[in-house]
Amino acid sequence: MRYLPHTDEEIKEMLEVVGRKSLDELFCSVPDDCRYEGDIPLPLPLNEWALKEHMSELADSMTVTPKFKILIGAGSNHHHIPATIGALISRSEFLTAYTPYQPEVAQGTLQGIFEYQTYTARLLGMDVANASIYDGASALAEALLMGLRIGRKKKTVAISTAIHPHYREVVKTYLEPTEYTLLELPFGEDGRTDLSGLKEIKGLAAVALQSPNFFGVIEDLETASSAIHDAGALAISCFTEPLAFGLLKNPGSCGIDICCGEGQSFGMTRSFGGPGLGMFGCKEKYTRNMPGRLVGETTDIDGKRGFVLTLATREQHIRREKATSNICSNQGICTLIATMYMSSLGGSGIRELAQLNYNKTEYFKSELIKKGADILFDSPTFNEFVVDFKHDFLPAYERLQEKGIIAGLDLGRFYPSFAGKYLFCATETAAKEDIDAVVKEVL
């Protein structure tokens, strides 16, 4: 049964108020060539068991099944998910899509977000973190817009070409229709971003780097932030692997002003690309320019601890056209999963897991080098690295695929000059036997 809240009389009354004769007239501002005419050719509905069968057939049609070993990261990383996550997140007290507009009936949701913000701020070394954004890509775009707001009259931002290609595409989508200029900075032979030309850029509001970047290379954030500040801009760092901060200096301690990225590694399955979690933090002085929501702690009239939605400068609220963002929700369930994950591991657990990931990657590198392969960049890496096999690796790739192993990502689709060079990833889920199987196939 459809839920139709308005009667014909109510609809007619509302149309008269806005000066329209029909519902179709509400869309008169949309050009005719942008409208779809006719019925959408959707298939007939299926009953429950027929739908399950259809979904199973679709799953079986995939080249890669859950039984495959995936040695690719590229922004979506396979990690072990503690059993505590599934047990807790499925409880009715936690599994809710409710939005915390009314603090008196949303204390549990608000506290969960508050704890997430606390963990995120500590992990990233930032003064404050928001309640999350949709994913890492949209978080980066919002960070650059935030930099432009803080920069006021400045109209230019720059991003490294070593940032995830999909993130850069999202940033372009955000900025292309605006008055702002987006520049891309090259990376050097060491895989790190070349910042030598920053001082020549006029009106530069912010510069964004990724660390570890798309190639797994760890950027020198301290040197980079100093160079960016010398150019009169804000330093923004993003990431696709938050686990790296279990070993690396956090961005806040390196002088970064705004830090954002993807939190999928913290307890979320890859699920063919979603859902994700946009983690976002900044220095305290920039808090009111931050997009999204911010939950704060307070006391009620009886002096008891409570939580409220402290900042929500969004287009839905009273600021409307002055809103810092049109991001109108946070990833509630995903933030709770990330909070449970960080709670389950604790600071020492995250550090130990990060060390395990690093060790497996270094073992993988060393074994490939023994077989004559070259590691493209000599800078330190975390989890991921680029390999030049000096010969066509495709036959070995196909043989490994037949054995149930997806060995690396050909970078040619994103960086044409790197065609035939492969990006590999090894997390704690990569067994030594799988790594050795790949090495064995390298001629």
Q: Which domains are present in the chain?
A: 69-81+346-441 (3.90.1150.10), 83-341 (3.40.640.10)
On the question of pLDDT at 272 being above 80, the answer is no
Which of the listed ranges 43-47, 90-94, 122-126 does the model predict with the highest average pLDDT?
122-126
Tell me what pLDDT residue 1 has: 43
**What are the φ and ψ backbone dihedral angles of 74, each rounded to 5 degrees?**
55, 40
The residue-averaged pLDDT of 98-109 equals 77
User: CB–CB of 278/260 below 8 Å?
Assistant: yes
Which residues are CB-contacts of 426 (< 8 A; sequence separation ≥ 6)? Answer: 71, 357, 360, 361, 363, 364, 383, 435
Report how far residue 157's alpha carbon sits from residue 341's, in angstroms, rounded to the nearest whole number.
34
* Alpha helix positions (H), 242-372: 332-370
On the question of pLDDT at 211 being above 60, the answer is yes
Q: Could you read off the pLDDT of 127-169 as tens digits, one per residue?
A: 999 999 999 999 999 999 999 999 999 999 999 999 999 999 9
Q: Could you read off the pLDDT of 358-397 as tens digits, one per residue?
A: 999 999 999 999 999 999 999 999 999 999 998 899 999 9
Query: Three-state SS for 34?
Result: helix
pLDDT category at 105 given cuts 50, 70, 90 is confident
Q: And the tokens for 118? A: 């606390």
Strand duo 204-210 + 374-375: pairing? unpaired
Per the model's pLDDT, the better-predicted residue between 331 and 277 turns out to be: 277
User: CB–CB of 156/353 below 8 Å?
Assistant: no
- Gyration radius (Cα) of the chain, Å: 24
**278 strand-pairing partners:** 133, 262
On the question of pLDDT at 432 being above 90, the answer is yes
Burial profile 249-277: b = 16 or more Cβ within 10 angstroms, e = fewer? ebbbebbbbbbbbbbbbbbbeeeeeeebb
Tell me what pLDDT residue 2 has: 60
Q: Could you read off the pLDDT of 27-78 as tens digits, one per residue?
A: 888 888 888 888 889 999 999 999 999 999 988 888 777 788 999 999 999 9
Is the torsion defined by CA of 155, 161, 166, 167 positive or negative? Answer: negative
* Alpha helix positions (H), 199-331: 221-230
pLDDT category at 417 given cuts 50, 70, 90 is very high
- Comparing C-alpha atoms, which of 104, 156, 148, 120 is closest to residue 308? 104
Residue 72 identity (one-letter amino acid): I
Q: And the tokens for 40? A: 């959408």
